[in-house]
Structure 1
Amino acid sequence: MRLLDKVIIVTGSTTGIGKAIAKRCVEEGAKVVLHGLEADLGQEVLEEIGKENAVFHCEDITSETCPENLVNLAISAFGKLDAVVNNAALVIASDIHNTDRAFFQKVLDINAVSPFLLIQEALPELTKNRGNVLNIGSVNAWSGEPNLLAYSVSKGAIMTLTGNLGDSLMREYGVRVNQINPGWVLTERETERKKLHGLSETWYEGLPAIFAPSGRILKPEEIAAAAIYWLSDECGPVSGQVVTLEQHPMIGRNLPKDSSTIK
């Protein structure tokens, strides 16, 4: 077991990538603090992985008390804290025309400021155990889609945060900070989003090669499998790194000979 006796906070772990990471952490021997806004979904995950292996905290990640509550819950339930997975995020469409100050600030608060504040709160405990942080970003951090403006900027911000803290926290406290940038992942919410856009129930089947060279998009469990390396001691002293998990390169990608049908 690669995470035996580790205690890990996973934010946004009631669905999707966060849920998959929490489940895989428990399979690898860890105890987990689950977090999310949906109490019913949180209880479902808790029942699935076992109440002896996890506790659940339901609170808005932007709440002033949330970072302290999550860290205190880890200590009270399991006696320590070894790692934080910053996964909670708001994925929402916006562009140059409909992004106002309040909206932009909300997205930044959830996706970039809140992860920072949780790292700040957890640092004393992580320092005791030479622990680590894994931030879950997005390939959109590199520039993003035109209709994901605020979201993309927020993921760019957390990528810079990873590089900055990955250096400074390792030097001063021995705490690693790394990041995964997932590509297109078939989560429950992504499935529902595409259906709201008018696509069919089976939209993810038979995707064009330009979007999915393998014929399918990534599964949350595949992101979770990669997360274990960064959370485990196998990672050694590696810190401040960002790894992209996608099935095609972001730079130098081969376009089809006839790209006129790409939308």
Structure 2
Amino acid sequence: MRLKDKVIIVTGSTTGIGRAIAKKAVSEGAKVVVHGLEEDLGAQVVLELGEENAVLLIEDISDDGAPDRLVELAIRKWGRLDSVVNNAAIVAASTITDTDKDFISRILGVNTIAPCLLIQAALPYLIESRGAVLNIGSINAWGGEHNLLAYSISKGALMTMTRNLGDSLFREKGVRVNQINPGWVLTENEVARKKTHGLSDDWHENLPKVYAPAGRLIYAEEIAVAVVYWLSDESGPISGQVVDLEQYPMIGRNVPKDANTIPHK
């Protein structure tokens, strides 16, 4: 097993990509701190994983002291910490005309500042274990869509933090920091969000090839499989890297002029 006996914090793991990561990590031998906002869903995840393999904290990651409480829970339960997966995020639409100070502060607080503070809180234990951090970004970090301004800014900042810490922490402390940027992933939250935009229940079954050359979106479980590599010893000394996980090249892509498109995010 590729993560045998490693203790991993996965934020935002009561649903979606985070839940898939937690489940895959345990299947590879890890112990996981499950975190999120939905107590009933979190309890279900822990039940599925087994109480010997998982422990739950329900709290907004941007609350004062929340990162410290996550770390303390891992240490209290298993006595060590090997990895942090910064997955929790708010995905919310905004443009230059409707992004006010409170809104962008909230997005940055959860998507960018909280991951930095969690790394800070975990650092003494990650140094001891020569551990790893994996930040879950987004292909929107490279610029983003016009109606995802604040979200794109937050993921771009996260990417810069990954590059910065991936160099300094590994060089000085032996802690690796990397990032993956998922593209469009089919999760229960994404299905529900698109329905609020007026799309039909089966919107994801007939996607334009411009957005899904495979004829479908990426599955959360496929992202989770990739995560294992970055948390395992197989990735060796690789640090400070950002890898896009999408069906097509995000930068330099040729979009057909006659593409039958629907809103991406």
TM-score by length of 2: 0.97
Instruction: Map Cα deviations across residues 174-221 of structure 1 (whole Å, 9 max, x no partner).
Output: 000000100000011000000111111100002110110110010000
- 1:65: how far off? 1.4
| Residue ranges of structure 1 left out of the alignment (5+ in a row) | none
Q: Which moved more, 1:250-259 or 1:64-73?
A: 250-259
Secondary structure of the 1:3 match is coil
1:100 and 1:206 mapped to 2: Cα distance? 35
Q: AA paired with 1:202?
A: D
Aligned partner of 1:156 in structure 2 is 156
Q: Residues 52-201 of structure 1 correspond to what in structure 2 (within 5 A)?
A: 52-201=52-201
Q: Residues 215-254 of structure 1 correspond to what in structure 2 (within 5 A)?
A: 215-254=215-254
1:96 and 1:22 mapped to 2: Cα distance? 36
| Residue ranges of structure 2 left out of the alignment (5+ in a row) | none
Q: AA paired with 1:168?
A: S
Say whether the 8 Å CA contact 2:141–2:152 is kept in structure 1.
Answer: yes
- 1:254: how far off? 3.0
Say whether the 8 Å CA contact 2:5–2:31 is kept in structure 1.
Answer: yes
Secondary structure of the 2:258 match is coil
Instruction: Map Cα deviations across residues 59-80 of structure 1 (whole Å, 9 max, x no partner).
Output: 1101111111111100110110
The root-mean-square deviation of aligned C-alpha atoms, in Å, is 0.9
- 1:142: how far off? 0.3
- 1:256: how far off? 2.5
How many equivalent residue pairs? Answer: 262
- 1:257: how far off? 5.5
Q: AA paired with 1:249?
A: P
- 1:253: how far off? 1.8
Matched, 1:20 2:2: no
2:16 and 2:238 mapped to 1: Cα distance? 26
2:117 and 2:29 mapped to 1: Cα distance? 27
2:31 and 2:111 mapped to 1: Cα distance? 25
Instruction: Map Cα deviations across residues 36-76 of structure 1 (whole Å, 9 max, x no partner).
Output: 11111100101111111000001110111111111110011
- 1:125: how far off? 0.2
Aligned partner of 2:36 in structure 1 is 36
2:46 and 2:128 mapped to 1: Cα distance? 27
1:82 and 1:231 mapped to 2: Cα distance? 9
Say whether the 8 Å CA contact 2:208–2:261 is kept in structure 1.
Answer: no
Aligned partner of 1:256 in structure 2 is 256
Q: AA paired with 1:140?
A: N
Identity %: 66
TM-score by length of 1: 0.98
Q: AA paired with 1:211?
A: Y
1:262 and 1:76 mapped to 2: Cα distance? 50
Q: AA paired with 1:141?
A: A
Secondary structure of the 1:243 match is strand
- Over 4 Å off, 4+ runs: none
2:250 and 2:68 mapped to 1: Cα distance? 37
Secondary structure of the 2:204 match is coil
Q: AA paired with 1:58?
A: I
